[in-house]
Amino acid sequence: MMAHGHMIPTLDIAKLFAAQGVKSTIITTPLNAHYFQKSVERTNQLGFEMGILTLEFPAAAAGLPEGCESADQLTSEDMFPKFFKAVTMLQYPLERILDEVRPDCLVADMFFPWATEVAAKFNIPRLTKMQLSVDERDASESDFQRMRIKAKESELSSLEL
């Protein structure tokens, strides 16, 4: 989801994969790209391959004000359904990007349920990033560690987040 609490873990996952030699690309909207820019640049300076691609957020088409590309910018409860409508409208633009870059895997937030369908269309695995409490995180750390090791040992060469 395009909210700061979801962007930071997404960036962390991308950096973990990049550190394992897997090219990682953050796909975001133009007004959210700056949240990732400095960290992506630092990661690249360390010799790891990471990039940013943007897709237009259909705010106006969903009934939101232009420039409203993050849940943090929603000022009333009636904006949330419109925001989720706009998020759903990102499916086809994401498919166009994936058709160009041909990734080996797609990591998508749980608020992009249609990403599973997109990954299936491209015959790639889809990993779901979920926010976890400290207790849940401790319990799942070994699962994430196994996933990192599998990614390192596998033939993954690129990853879209």
Active site residues: 6, 109
Spell out the residues 6+ positions from residue 110 whose beta carbon is closer than 8 angstroms to its own: 1, 128, 129, 130
State phi, psi for 144 to the nearest 5 degrees: -65, -40
C-alpha to C-alpha distance for 134 and 75, rounded to whole angstroms: 29
Q: Where does residue 43 rank: exposed (0-12), middle (13-18), buried (19+ CB within 10 A)?
A: buried
In the numeric block, which tokens belong to residue 7? Answer: 């962007």
Q: Name the residue among 125, 88, 130 with its Cα closest to residue 105.
A: 125
